[in-house]
């Protein structure tokens, strides 16, 4: 099973860099895994997922009800598709829309994409430091990534 782990976000925007930090730890613990670090979405992210059976995307998340530092795992399908709010240019499309387009074109994409999200505090301030609660959540997020990989390997 061909797996890709993606640390998503921007490492110079405070907590938005947590996806990269978790991915770095995953790669350090299991160098044989393919890990990438990206600051893209939509079509660019979809293109990076081509030819993989499994994809795990690690990213910061901000919700109205979440506690900073909480780690949550869920399928990409559970996220709302906000593509209606991004209709000004094709590169602004949502990942869900990009995946539908790729599949319609016959592109081999993962059947299931899992999101490992860490509830964040600061995602727009220039800083290469994570807030204390988000930094403390890194080990739990790393564990969540490995748990998801093991779950998929059990489905083989």
Alpha carbon distance 76, 57 (integer Å): 9
Query: pLDDT tens digits for the chain (156 residues)?
Result: 899 999 999 889 989 999 999 999 999 999 999 999 988 877 888 889 999 999 999 999 888 888 999 999 998 888 766 554 444 455 567 777 888 888 889 999 998 899 999 999 877 788 888 999 999 999 999 999 999 999 887 765
pLDDT score recorded for residue 89: 53
What DSSP letter does each residue of 50-118 carry, written as one string? Answer: TT-SEEEEEEEE--SSPPTT-EEEEEGGGS---GGG--S-GGG--HHHHHHHHHHTT----SEEEEEEE
Domain 3-154 coded CATH 3.40.605.10: no
Among residues 107, 99, 141, the alpha carbon closest in space to that of 15 is found at 141
Handedness of CA 40, 121, 25, 76 (dihedral sign): negative
d(CA 56, CA 96): 14
pLDDT of residue 156: 58
The values of phi and psi at residue 30, to 5°, are: -140, 80
User: Where in the chain are the domains?
Assistant: 3-154
Q: What pLDDT shows up at residue 45?
A: 84
């Amino acid at each position: 099973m061909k797996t890709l782990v993606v640390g998503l976000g921007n490492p110079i925007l405070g907590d938005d860099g947590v996806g990269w930090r978790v991915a770095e730890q995953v790669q350090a613990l299991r160098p044989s895994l393919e890990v990438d670090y990206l600051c893209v979405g939509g079509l660019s992210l979809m293109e990076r997922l081509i030819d993989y059976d499994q994809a795990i995307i690690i990213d910061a998340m901000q919700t109205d009800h979440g506690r900073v530092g909480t780690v949550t795992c869920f399928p990409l399908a559970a996220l709302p598709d906000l593509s209606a709010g991004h209709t000004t240019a094709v590169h602004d499309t949502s990942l869900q829309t990009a995946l539908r387009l790729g599949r319609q074109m016959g592109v081999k994409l993962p059947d299931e994409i899992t999101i490992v999200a860490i509830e964040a505090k600061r995602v727009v301030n220039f800083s290469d430091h994570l807030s204390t609660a988000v930094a403390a959540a890194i080990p739990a997020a790393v564990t969540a990534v490995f748990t998801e990989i093991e779950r998929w390997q059990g489905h083989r």
